[in-house]
Amino acid sequence: MQVARRFLVSGRVQGVGYRYFTMRAAAAHQISGFVRNLPNGEVEVVAEGSRDAMEDFKKELAAGPYHAQVTSLGETVLEFSGRFHSFRIEY
């Protein structure tokens, strides 16, 4: 079953390679969507993929790369759209 999620990641997540880490994690789990920095210091991730892959992806987002410090990972369930065919960084 395909699912869609929006994650808001808080903490020390900008300027530490978090977006590139997320892109690699998405590729490893066959997740499509995008990641971007928000002006308030959070990182937004919109993702689509299989339910099992999404759970594994979420665990990686919570851990983050070596220099990051994730303090909060908010999750919103979205309706699966199928509009994403790859995973990208948005600026």
Q: Which domains does the chain have, with CATH numbers?
A: 2-80 (3.30.70.100)
pLDDT at 72: 98
pLDDT at 46: 98
**Is 24 one of the catalytic residues?**
no
> What letter represents residue 31's amino acid?
I
For residue range 45-67, what is the model confidence (pLDDT) as tens digits? 999 999 999 999 999 999 999 99
Q: Which residues of the chain, if any, have pLDDT below 50? A: none
Helix (H, G, I), strand (E, B) or coil at 46: strand
Catalytic-role residue among 6, 36, 37, 88: 37
The count of residues in the chain is: 91
**Residue bearing tokens 């903490």:** 11
**Is 40 one of the catalytic residues?**
no
Burial class (CB in 10 A: 0-12, 13-18, 19+), 6: middle
Read off the pTM: 0.97
pLDDT at 24: 98
Q: Which residues contact 80 (CB under 8 A, 6 or more apart)?
A: 2, 3, 4, 48
